[in-house]
Amino acid sequence: MSAQPISLTRLENGITVITVDNQAADLIAARCFFRAGGRWEAPHQVGISHLLAMVMTKGTQSLSSAVIADRVESVGANLGTDATADYFTLGLKTVTGDFPEILRLAGEILRSPSFPAAEVQLEQQLTLQNIRAQSERPFSVAFQQLRQAMYGDHPYGFSILGTPETLSRLTAADLHRYHRTYFRPDNLVISLSGRIESETAIAQITAVFGDWAIPDAPLPIAPPLPPLPPPSTHTIDQATQQAIVMVGYPAPAVHNLPDYIALKVINTYLGSGLSSRLFVELREKRGLAYDVSAFYPTRFSASQFVAYIGTAPENAQVGFEGLVAEIERLCQVSLTETELQASKNKLLGQYALGKQTNADLAQLFGWYTIIDLGIEFDQKFQAAVNQITPDQIQAAAQRYFQTPYITIVGPEPAREPLAL
């Protein structure tokens, strides 16, 4: 499906429109991306993007929550909103014939949400329950502590849900101010995929959004990522059956393409699936892990390479040693051509599987555009993966896998000081 014709147009009021013309099914999926989300949140308003996403579809200046839901469900469409660290998005999917109607509804939701006070309070309570639930999950606790240790008060250091303190203080007035600041045409990318030609898409989008004027105020700039503090170790007491040992290494942003690709391949080799190095060595061969894996989030600003092991509390030290040894082993031992090719094949296979539907394609190309990579990154990524060498993999490992940040969550004796 990625070979389907793709077009990109910029409207007079600054809206970027991406169209993937896919005639295979009588469906259209769209994603409306804004440069908003966690990265733009003030420290005292962490969680506002998520709260806004949860409340945005609950009413507009002329439509109630029930009317919005009825209009979507009556034609069998899907419509929802979401916020992440690097963007805010409204997504929709419908049959081609109903697309103009659902697009008009999406336009009203995006341009004139009402944020009813009762809905705001309800979503605050639901989110607080979610935060409390996460505080009881060892993995979530460990990851939150690791983010805080690495990013401090920068938005990347917090869950997109926010904190109980910041979330409780947010009001409908705060949501309206945030909406007025970031929801504007020159901050919007609309990405579509389905049975629609570019000219038709532009005409329909112009009919809904063409009269949306650019405000006089300049767009705020997201705060830069400050220098990371020195690596540290944190232990958290939690009465659980297993301990979570998590390590994090500073890692490059997506715009550092050579190193980004190298660490994506490394992540696939170490932590992707039942054949990954960490799973085979620490779980299958040594029986140390209930769960073991690694992940490397794609970020606009500097990211983190994270690996973790869930193990019996008395095995926390040996599990930690094994985890770090497998990661830092790549600094001294090059991947063989066979290992590298297998990791490339797995990574590219997973990437291809992530582009199977219209919703996948609308998400992918809109995401690439909103984080300033461009639609051509689709081909750049695949070419770069195919071209990377064992020497480049090892050089990236040596650059980034130095002293880790460490978090341990669990009961004694898991929280005894760890040492390599």
Condensed to tens digits (0 to 9), the pLDDT of residues 350-409 reads 999 999 999 999 999 999 999 999 999 999 999 999 999 999 999 999 999 999 999 999
In whole angstroms, give the CA distance from residue 184 to residue 382: 33
Residues 324 and 279 in one domain: yes
Q: What is the pLDDT of residues 175-185, one digit of tens each?
A: 999 999 999 99
Residues 181 and 240 in one domain: no
SS3 10: strand
% of the chain with per-residue pLDDT over 90 = 93
Residues 269 and 198 in one domain: no
The answer to whether residue 420 scores a pLDDT higher than 60 is no
Q: What is the pLDDT of residues 4-28, one digit of tens each?
A: 789 999 999 999 999 999 988 999 9
Contacts (Cβ under 8 Å, ≥6 apart) of 258: 384, 392, 396
| Average pLDDT of the segment spanning 69-93 | 97
Q: What does the pLDDT read at residue 1?
A: 42
The answer to whether residue 68 scores a pLDDT higher than 80 is yes
Q: Count CB atoms within 10 A of the CB of residue 129.
A: 10
Q: How many domains does the chain have?
A: 2
Residue 179 domain boundaries: 6-209
In whole angstroms, give the CA distance from residue 378 to residue 222: 25
Residues 147 and 246 in one domain: no
The answer to whether residue 77 scores a pLDDT higher than 50 is yes
| Average pLDDT of the segment spanning 153-180 | 95
**Tokens of residue 57, six digits:** 């579809």
Residues 247 and 321 in one domain: yes
Q: Is residue 223 part of a domain?
A: no
| Average pLDDT of the segment spanning 265-283 | 96
Q: Is residue 110 part of a domain?
A: yes
φ/ψ (deg, to 5) at 150: -85, -40
In whole angstroms, give the CA distance from residue 243 to residue 246: 10
Q: Is residue 415 part of a domain?
A: no
**Tokens of residue 338, six digits:** 């066979």
- Taking the CA of residue 76 as centre, how many other CA atoms within 13 Å lie in the half-sphere pointing to its CB? 5
* β-strand pairing of 303-311 with 88-95: unpaired
Q: Is residue 60 part of a domain?
A: yes
Q: What does the pLDDT read at residue 2?
A: 43
In whole angstroms, give the CA distance from residue 298 to residue 239: 33
CATH number at 310 reads: 3.30.830.10
Closest CA to 115 of 41, 64, 42, 44: 64
In whole angstroms, give the CA distance from residue 388 to residue 46: 38
Q: Is residue 384 part of a domain?
A: yes
Residue 98 gets which letter from DSSP?
G
Residues 242 and 118 in one domain: no
Residues 143 and 245 in one domain: no
* β-strand pairing of 188-194 with 233-237: unpaired
Q: Count CB atoms within 10 A of the CB of residue 112.
A: 14
Q: Is residue 418 part of a domain?
A: no
Residues 199 and 326 in one domain: no
Closest CA to 300 of 245, 367, 350, 381: 367
The answer to whether residue 191 scores a pLDDT higher than 50 is yes
Residues 200 and 246 in one domain: no
The answer to whether 183 touches 111, Cβ cutoff 8 Å, is: yes
Alpha helices in 112-256 (DSSP H): 117-134, 138-151, 164-169, 172-182, 198-209
In whole angstroms, give the CA distance from residue 176 to residue 359: 29
The answer to whether residue 3 scores a pLDDT higher than 70 is no
Q: What is the pLDDT of residues 332-351, one digit of tens each?
A: 999 999 999 999 999 999 99
Residues 57 and 117 in one domain: yes
Residues 41 and 154 in one domain: yes
- The amino acid sitting at 157 is G
The answer to whether 292 touches 282, Cβ cutoff 8 Å, is: yes
Q: Is residue 278 part of a domain?
A: yes
Q: Count CB atoms within 10 A of the CB of residue 165.
A: 10
Helix (H) or strand (E) holding 335: none
Look at residues 175, 209, 243 and tell me which one is the last residue of a structural domain. Answer: 209
The answer to whether 347 touches 388, Cβ cutoff 8 Å, is: no
